[in-house]
Structure 1
Amino acid sequence: MIARYWAAASLAFALVGQGAQAAPAVARMTGGELTAFTRAMPKGGELHNHISGAIFAETLLAWAVEDGLCINAKTLAVTPACQPGEDLKPASTIKTDEVLRAAMIDSFSVRNPGFLDRSGHDQFFGSFGRFGAAGARREGDMLAHVMDNLARQNTYYLEAMVTPQGVASRVRGAQVGWKGGDLALQKTANSAAGLESLVAAAIADTDAMEARARSLMKCGTPVAQPGCQVTVRYLVQTSRVAPPEQTFAQLQLGVALVTADKRWVGLQMVAPEDHPLSITHYSLHMRMVDFLTDHGRTAKAALHAGELSMDYATPEELRYHVAEAVRVAGARRIGHGVDLPLETGAEALAAEMAAKGVLVEVNLSSNAAILGVSGKAHPYAWLRQRGVPVSLSTDDAGILRIDLSHEYARAADDGASYGDLKASARNAIAFSFLTGEGLWSDPGVYRRPAKACARQIGRAEPKPGACADLIAASDKAREQWRHERLLAAFEAAAR
């Protein structure tokens, strides 16, 4: 690291040691210093990551070439096969056609604001359909990319959003049909139709995805990539823009999968929250999650909620989405939460979330690109001031052309202190859905270590006894121990 970076970092840590706010020191870093600082900083984990949207366009296009796919030069989309038509070209055309290659990268990302006169919102959500064929059958490749990129940013825990047996579960739901809102009857009918039989296939798919990722990263060999050290858990993505019977079937399969395989740790609902079907069925979806998870007792939920602004929703719709996700569905985490200050009784809701420990996954670049909400308009500082636990995440790093370190640097530019960044990193593990007791008695505050590990956190190894036993028995404590060890080394190097 350059000397000036270390000088800025040393000042930050000196201020922390004096009990002062470290924000001025981080704020005084140059762009390069802040980039180096946040990349080297251990960031705990990534809780909001759609791996299908995490891959940069250049990689997706390279896969399209390798797999012999085609490009529609009119729609700027990858297609599975080259059918007759003047707009279709072999993907390999991008090797010599720089204009087409640049247009495809623009089509798959938000790097070019106003591309084809689309809003950031429309460009973002539309891109999945344009690049989807390039990522088909590449789940393991995508996972390897995400894991290795995180490890190279000193970050070793990931909760990845994936859709297990997505088509098959929706087909089962469609075959059963909608039972008029009787959720118990709906569940029974799905089970009678063999919905839970898809669990075995979903587990086999998970095994294959992980095996492919580990093979690509050469795990277990002398040349293993850093990503092999990343611990991965999965959230079941379900679609909120499908007919109710299909959404319910996906959720029901998700609960069964979480029960059967410890790698799958919770539920999510994805797709535009402002879509007409999302709006129409929002309250129904929250009741579905509540019913199927027994208000979070059977399976945990981390729900996209409040990914809205007045550009994309009416004042009426901005009044209740986060509240229902927390109070009706029993969500343990909220993805985005941008509209929270606009909700009815916002201050009381924030206080309730702080008291219950309901974390908000903050996606600064995503919210700026999709909703046009950034800087002081973003509720990130408002949430911190009210004690709501928050953690920075990327959402869809490839589409946004960012990484997790970028989000930490952006937060610092927006006024977050080093202490805020440090809390975000710790929160990413403390509020994860990893099993077991944590190292902290006060997650979100981090002043009281668990009694078993008092005066040991940050050491290379725990002393034999109660602390070592806790770490051996708890997935969460084990990840926290690793993070605190890395954090202690990072801070010591800057003094």
Structure 2
Amino acid sequence: MIKRWIRGGLALLAGFQVSGAALAAEPRLDRMTGGELAAFTRALPKGGELHNHISGAVFGEALLAWAAEDGLCVDVARLALAPACQPGGDLKPASTALRDEDLRSALLDSFSVRHPDFRDRSGHDQFFGVFSRIGAVSETRGGDALAFVLDSLGRQNTFYLEAMITPQGAAAAAKGAIAGWKGGDLAAQAAATRAQGLDALVPLVSAQTDALEARARTVMRCGQPDASPGCQVTVRYLYQTIRVLPPEQTFAQIQLGVAMVAADKRWVGIQMVAPEDHPNAVANYSLHMRMVDYLTDHGRKAPAALHAGELTLKVAPPSALRSHIAEAIRVAGARRIGHGVDFPHEDGAEALAAEAAAKGVMVEVNLSSNDAILEVRGQAHPVAWLRARGVPTSLSTDDAGLLRIDLSREYARAAEEGAAYADLKRSARNAIAFSFLAGEGLWSDPGTYARPARACAGQLGAETPKPGPCAALVAASDKAREQWRHERLLTEFEAGR
């Protein structure tokens, strides 16, 4: 079937490259039926996912099942999970919802954006409100949630993940609160937070990471004959910090995230999350960028991937759309931008795009999320504008469970909205090349992929590298190893094996 997609009804594309070897033509995605496109994008090796909030990645059916197993309850009025059933409240055991189809359906609506205007909420408010309604189970089932995500990616022929989580986030914020705000003296702020024992949280985060991964491996039966495909997915972590907290608390979380990158190789960068249009986020945005710049030493101590430009005039005033992405890149030193929807609306947008392209700052594109939250879709989305200006992009899900999508669906949606096969292939490669994995990559020109690294020229797509410089590179570099695996899978996919 894949051979038919690639060879039958194709448009010739001179110079198209597959791992260094010429291919006569590329698949015409615009000629595929919906079913063909769905199957094609599911089988396509998608490299990895760089924008994934684990707390929002699990579908409501799994959340309800876990809540029932854990003896949790449902607040029927709020359509939310509750940790315990209190006498006299409007609460029912979560197990009841598994037998009451009307209640179950209403809860699935409450835990997602599958029905627009649910309870007369905007997509924006419904999306961001979900987290408080599922927190009772998502906070205790982190390992199960990680297994859910890894299994899903593995079954979609995708084998790298950067997961956003915040272990010990409340403890870090509490230490920041005790330290108090030092009036913008960031050196004094760092010293005060450290004096409250912030560094003691580092081994606790590592221990939580150990437990998270151990539980995920158990759930996926890793090492057993019936192991989940998720066992083959490489996972790294971004420490997500909360931008709507008081400044001293956000600062402490960023400080802990940077410390984790230094202490534990599984932690590879930091993020900032929560609604960018929230009054606290808007008021403190420039301060937050200075915090990231100071604590990461402009990215030299820890790389940053920052949510920026997740805005439209529907949710924020014009002033908020003028410079958030610019500040993330120029002040904070962000190496990736999450969402970037308002990019063309920023002051000096063309110059900013040229700068992002020159610096290799990638935009994480979340099509379904941007549609649900911001009502930006189709030709209104800036992804084609970014690609045309050489800004690297890669598709991701954001919160797959809330949106009821998977990564393959985002690739199919991109094709439906005008992306060619070459765009999807580049997105997949970008997901590894612009990851925060350690080590040198296999490409001399990440983003364009015309020149493999000299050590591995002519070898990409093979089962294993030849003994010598290429084998040494792959052995020494986490990034090169993931790229080698992806190029082999891509070659097999394009050959129709």
TM-score range, shorter chain: over 0.9
Offset of residue 24 of structure 1? 7.7
Work out whether 1:297 is the aligned partner of 2:304.
no
* Counterpart residue number, 1:316: 319
Distance (whole Å) between structure 2 residues aligned to residue 23 and residue 406 of structure 1? 20
Work out whether 1:331 is the aligned partner of 2:331.
no
* 1:442-453 equivalences in 2 (<5 Å): 442-453=445-456
Distance (whole Å) between structure 2 residues aligned to residue 147 and residue 95 of structure 1? 25
Distance (whole Å) between structure 2 residues aligned to residue 279 and residue 21 of structure 1? 50
Q: Is the partner of 2:146 in helix, strand or coil?
A: helix
* Counterpart residue number, 1:211: 214
Deviations 1:423-451 (A, max 9, x none): 00000000000000000000000000000
Deviations 1:93-129 (A, max 9, x none): 1122111100000000000111000000000000000
When the two structures are aligned, how many residues end up with a matched partner?
491
Q: Say if 2:3 and 2:494, in contact at 8 Å, map to a contact too.
A: no
Q: Is the partner of 1:316 in helix, strand or coil?
A: helix
Distance (whole Å) between structure 2 residues aligned to residue 193 and residue 72 of structure 1? 37
* Counterpart residue number, 2:100: 97
* Counterpart residue number, 2:364: 361
Offset of residue 457 of structure 1? 0.4
2:139 counterpart (125, 128, 136): 136
Q: Is the partner of 2:460 in helix, strand or coil?
A: coil
Distance (whole Å) between structure 2 residues aligned to residue 243 and residue 463 of structure 1? 54
TM-score (norm 2): 0.97
Cα 1:23–1:365, aligned 2, differ >3 Å: closer, same or farther?
A: farther
Offset of residue 282 of structure 1? 0.4
Comparing 188-197 with 322-331, greater Cα deviation is found at: 188-197
* 1:450-461 equivalences in 2 (<5 Å): 450-461=453-464
Unmatched segments (≥5 aa) in structure 1: none
Q: Say if 1:12 and 1:418, in contact at 8 Å, map to a contact too.
A: no
Deviations 1:232-290 (A, max 9, x none): 00000100010000000000011111100000000000000000000010000000000
1:431 counterpart (431, 434, 438): 434
1:248 counterpart (244, 247, 251): 251
Distance (whole Å) between structure 2 residues aligned to residue 188 and residue 106 of structure 1? 46
Q: Say if 1:111 and 1:401, in contact at 8 Å, map to a contact too.
A: yes
Offset of residue 7 of structure 1? 2.2
Q: Is the partner of 2:316 in helix, strand or coil?
A: coil
* Counterpart residue number, 2:19: none
Work out whether 1:9 is the aligned partner of 2:10.
no
Deviations 1:463-483 (A, max 9, x none): 000000000000000000000
Q: Say if 1:457 and 1:485, in contact at 8 Å, map to a contact too.
A: yes
Q: Say if 2:113 and 2:403, in contact at 8 Å, map to a contact too.
A: yes
* 1:36-435 equivalences in 2 (<5 Å): 36-435=39-438
Aligned residues: CA RMSD: 1.4
Q: Is the partner of 2:92 in helix, strand or coil?
A: strand
Offset of residue 337 of structure 1? 0.2
Offset of residue 85 of structure 1? 2.8
Q: Is the partner of 1:43 in helix, strand or coil?
A: coil
Distance (whole Å) between structure 2 residues aligned to residue 297 and residue 22 of structure 1? 42
Offset of residue 334 of structure 1? 0.2
Distance (whole Å) between structure 1 residues aligned to residue 253 and residue 211 of structure 2? 21
Distance (whole Å) between structure 1 residues aligned to residue 121 and residue 9 of structure 2? 42
Distance (whole Å) between structure 1 residues aligned to residue 10 and residue 185 of structure 2? 57
Distance (whole Å) between structure 1 residues aligned to residue 46 and residue 14 of structure 2? 20
Runs of 4 or more, structure 1, over 6 Å off, are 20-24
Distance (whole Å) between structure 2 residues aligned to residue 12 and residue 456 of structure 1? 30
Q: Say if 1:364 and 1:374, in contact at 8 Å, map to a contact too.
A: yes
- Output the amino acid matched with 2:477: S
Deviations 1:322-364 (A, max 9, x none): 0000000000000000000000000000000000000000000
Q: Say if 2:74 and 2:91, in contact at 8 Å, map to a contact too.
A: yes
Distance (whole Å) between structure 1 residues aligned to residue 472 and residue 452 of structure 2? 15
Unmatched segments (≥5 aa) in structure 2: 17-22
Q: Say if 2:426 and 2:447, in contact at 8 Å, map to a contact too.
A: yes
Offset of residue 193 of structure 1? 1.3
Q: Identity rate of aligned residues, in percent?
A: 70
Cα 1:466–1:13, aligned 2, differ >3 Å: closer, same or farther?
A: farther
Q: Is the partner of 1:436 in helix, strand or coil?
A: coil
- Output the amino acid matched with 1:49: N
Q: Is the partner of 1:300 in helix, strand or coil?
A: coil
Deviations 1:12-35 (A, max 9, x none): 777356649978810110000000
Deviations 1:381-427 (A, max 9, x none): 00000000000000000000000000000000010000000000000
- Output the amino acid matched with 2:4: A
